[in-house]
Every structure is written in structure tokens, then in C-alpha cells.
Amino acid sequence: MDGAEEIYLMEHPDSTEEIPVLDIAPYIAGEPGSRELLGTRLREISETVGFFYLIGHGVPQGAIDQAFAQSRRLHESPLEVRRTMPKFDRTGYQGVEDRQTLAATQKPSLNSTINIVQERSPGHPKLDPSKPFRRPNVWPHWLDGFKEGALEYQGILHGLAKKMLPLWAAALELPADYFDAAFADPHIIMSMVYYPPQKEIGNRRYGIPPHTDNCFMTILAQGNVPGLAVQMPSGHWRIADVIPGTFVVNSGNTMVRFTNGRFKSTRHRVINTNEVDRYSIPFFVAPDLDAMVECVPTCVTPDRPAEYPPIRYEDFYYWYQYSEGVRGFEKKSAGPGSKSEELWLAPEDTKAGSSAS
Ligand SMILES: [Fe+2]
């Protein structure tokens, strides 16, 4: 398959392969044996498709609706008001009207986004404005109740993410608490995204271009308008139909590292071909920035030695930015013969050359 064909297939989803459904209601209800049973199913899904609809999750529809209502309040605010928010800096807001490309190879994505990370009080040791992924949240100051509403939903989804960790552990035949330490204070990014209708299809215009997520898992509230498409095992793409009451969950690059390449990080993209606005809320769950991402013992055998050395999550995130071509992230020369992967530099560390602008 050449590059042009690959792009054509991505822009014209024609796969009839199914995105599977995982019903975790028995596990949420505490039924004995349900964790192991669902873990087996989750393993099958993660080794083949890497995407699934999550049902029986216990998150009230009202909580999801409330989050979308907050998102609409922000995205429907007048442009001149939205522009009073400080410049997007990984956290905070970026409007489609003022979209900058992060990567030199891309056209600006057709979406407006606010990225909301864990809320920290001033002086918190995890806050560091000089580091791209340790910056504080920026809130739309003109919207009373927005912050409270957004953080309420973030808290609920954080709770769901925590409940799912033992399922991932079961999928890997690990003790239920295996991932708890690495996710005790996870790096969470909740994005409230708005996609305007896209008139032009092709010519490298996307709501979000094809990519893999870097986190451990993404829990997506898709709203009521389709637009997400997923690359299925055949290589063809499939639209993720809107199924009310579900989350769309996928595993990311961090899962690939933990599982020594067994679990997938599947490519996906968004094009809003509808004539109406599309809203979605992806919730990206990654380990603590300081946690080590290391192949789990059940995925390393004499026949399949660890393919990836351990790496601190923040460094792995820098690697992702670099590999995606994001300006300012550079590979540090480690000298000949070095096998260390912790070589990635954020824009603030690179004084000369391609600085972020
Ligand atoms: Fe994504």
C-alpha cells in the first residue's frame, strides 16, 4: 500500500469490521470472577483492534451531558472573549480561528480545544511552568461554574480510570493492584474539543490527522455526531458509530511499551463531514510523569525479550512529541554506542535551532 492509497483509505472509511463492545457492569457490581473473565476479553480486544465501546461503566448520563454543556458554553462564546484567554501552552485553550500547527509537516487541525490537566494548587511540587507538561490549568474566566463543572466530570472519569486499572492488570495476568503505584497521581488530560463542519475533504485537512495516542488509555465521550474513524486490523478504516451511553476506549503507546508490543496502539483520525458542529471529550490517562514505564513480567519471555528499555513517562512523552515532528522537541546526542532512550529534550531545553514559535 503506497502513501496515496493509505491516505485515500483513511479519508474514505469502508471497513465492515466491528469495533467490539466490553460490558463491565458485572465487574463494577463486584461479581466474583468478573475481573478475570473481562480481562480475557480485554486482552483479545487489545491484541487485535485496540479500540472498544465501553458499557456498564456506571457513569451517569447526566454527568456526561453536564460536561458537554460546559464545553458548548466555552466554544460558543464570542471569539473576542475566547481570545482573552492566555495563549495555549499544552494546557489551556486554542481556538480553530487561531490554530497553530504544532508539527511543521501538518496543516492546522480544524478544531478548537481546551486541555484540562489535574488541578493543582499554586506551589504544588508537580507544577513547573518551565516544563511543557507541568503547566497549570487556564480557565475561561468569564464562565461561572465552568471550572467546577469540568473538574466534577474529570473527577468522575478519574474514578472510572482507576476502576479499569485492575481490568488491564487482569488482561495481562497480573495482580489487581499492579498498575496502582504508577497511576497514584496520573497525568490526565481532559480535552473538550469542538469540530466545525468540514467542507473540504482531502488536501490534508483534518479535524485531527491520523495518529496514535501516547497515553495508557483514552476514554472518549463521543457526543452525538460521528467523525472519528479507526484503522481496523485489515488496514481499512471504520467510522466509530455514535452509540449512546458508551465511551469509546483505546489503548495508547504507553500500553505498547508496558506490554512489550503485545497490545496495540491503533491509529485514528477525525473528519467532521457532517453539516453540524461536533463536540467530543477525550480523557487521556497516562502514568505519573515520574513513573517508569517498563515491560510487565508476563510479556517478557526468553523467546520474546524486552524490546524497550524502561523509560520515565515524561521522557516518553517527549519522545512522542519528537516522533510526531512537534517543533522544539529534539533528540539529544548521547554519544556513540549509547542505548539509553532518555534523550529527549523539550523546547525549553533547546536554546538554538528549531524553537517553538
Ligand atoms: Fe487520539
Q: List the chain domain ranges.
A: 3-352
How many angstroms is it from 270 CA to the middle of ligand 1?
A: 9
Q: What is the pLDDT of residue 349?
A: 55
User: What percentage of the chain carries pLDDT values higher than 90?
Assistant: 78
Under CATH, domain 3-352 is a member of which superfamily?
B-lactam Antibiotic, Isopenicillin N Synthase; Chain (2.60.120.330)
How many angstroms is it from 212 CA to the middle of ligand 1?
A: 6
Task: Identify the band that residue 78 occupies on the pLDDT scale cut at 50, 70 and 90.
Answer: very high
Helix (H, G, I), strand (E, B) or coil at 113: strand
Q: What is the pLDDT of residue 334?
A: 52
Spatial separation of the C-alpha atoms in residues 283 and 296, rounded to whole Å: 24
Spatial separation of the C-alpha atoms in residues 99 and 85, rounded to whole Å: 14
How many angstroms is it from 221 CA to the middle of ligand 1?
A: 12
How many angstroms is it from 268 CA to the middle of ligand 1?
A: 6
Spatial separation of the C-alpha atoms in residues 63 and 123, rounded to whole Å: 30
Task: Write the DSSP assignment of 126-164 as a string of letters.
Answer: T--TTSTTSPPP---TTSTTHHHHHHHHHHHHHHHHHHH
How many angstroms is it from 33 CA to the middle of ligand 1?
A: 32
Altogether, the residues listed in the chain come to a count of 357
How many angstroms is it from 248 CA to the middle of ligand 1?
A: 11
Question: Please, are residues 279 and 225 in contact by the beta-carbon 8 Å criterion?
Answer: yes
Question: Please, are residues 86 and 95 in contact by the beta-carbon 8 Å criterion?
Answer: no
How many angstroms is it from 264 CA to the middle of ligand 1?
A: 13
pLDDT in tens, 306-350: 999 999 999 999 888 888 888 777 776 554 444 444 455 665 554
How many angstroms is it from 143 CA to the middle of ligand 1?
A: 27
Q: Is the pLDDT at 46 greater than 50, yes or no?
A: yes
Phi then psi for residue 83, to 5 deg, are -70, -10
How many angstroms is it from 176 CA to the middle of ligand 1?
A: 27
pLDDT in tens, 100-147: 766 666 678 999 999 999 999 999 999 998 888 999 999 999 999 999
How many angstroms is it from 210 CA to the middle of ligand 1?
A: 8
How many other β-carbons are positioned within 10 Å of the β-carbon of residue 194? 23
Q: Is the pLDDT at 2 greater than 60, yes or no?
A: yes
How many angstroms is it from 249 CA to the middle of ligand 1?
A: 10
How many angstroms is it from 269 CA to the middle of ligand 1?
A: 7
Cell of 107: 496543516
Cell of 307: 524490546
Cell of 192: 473538550
How many angstroms is it from 41 CA to the middle of ligand 1?
A: 23
Residue of 291, 148, 167 lying closest to 219 (CA atoms)? 167
Taking the model in full, what pTM does it have?
0.93
Q: Mean pLDDT of all residues in the chain?
A: 91
How many angstroms is it from 168 CA to the middle of ligand 1?
A: 19
Cell of 227: 467523525
Q: What is the pLDDT of residue 203?
A: 85
Q: Which residues of 339-348 are buried (b: 16+ CB within 10 A; e: fewer)?
A: eebbbbbbbe
DSSP 8-state symbol, 101: -
How many angstroms is it from 254 CA to the middle of ligand 1?
A: 13
How many angstroms is it from 75 CA to the middle of ligand 1?
A: 20
